[in-house]
Structure 1
């Protein structure tokens, strides 16, 4: 799993128990996944279609740093499926795992569109060196 981003847990990210609010973490995950898929599919019109069971196994508190990791499960005709793991960098514990997040590539009218991708591409391989 490649870990792509880190987030610092701040007071506005906490729930009534003074731990990381699950909804905030899910928003961070959704944003990270869509950004990753936009880059992979080379299309800014990508949306979340499905998120499988979410398994919270630990938490984070104010001041902790969480890291979001993604791995491509498969490329569909119009979709891309990734899995996600979030871990607490301070405690080294896994916070949650999501086995499947399905993202759909859209055309200009907002309809599912074939993307033609079959494997992960790295941005460094797309950049032309003169």
Structure 2
């Protein structure tokens, strides 16, 4: 029972973080535009990453597709972490490193969900897309 509660805490944490950033990406908030302009990916990278994060969050919340969502979320967050470390810097527009910390938290939640769902990996590999 405790494990199930913990899994849901990780699911909800990852999904909430992924979903709450969508508002800023989809409305063209100044910080989001700045980030993706710096990366040379504005507006397509901003909107595209928002769509991918939305899909990941939905998949994470559905128990049957949690593994796929966690894999997708971990990949996106790994990219965000590397971009913070090597291009953007940990602190973006005086945010105190908040976006970087949220990316790390989401990444770690996704890794935990992948670990707890590792028995389903063979099923994912058998998918014919």
TM-score, normalized by length of structure 1? 0.25
**Greater strand percent: which structure?**
1
Larger Rg: 1
TM-score, normalized by length of structure 2? 0.25
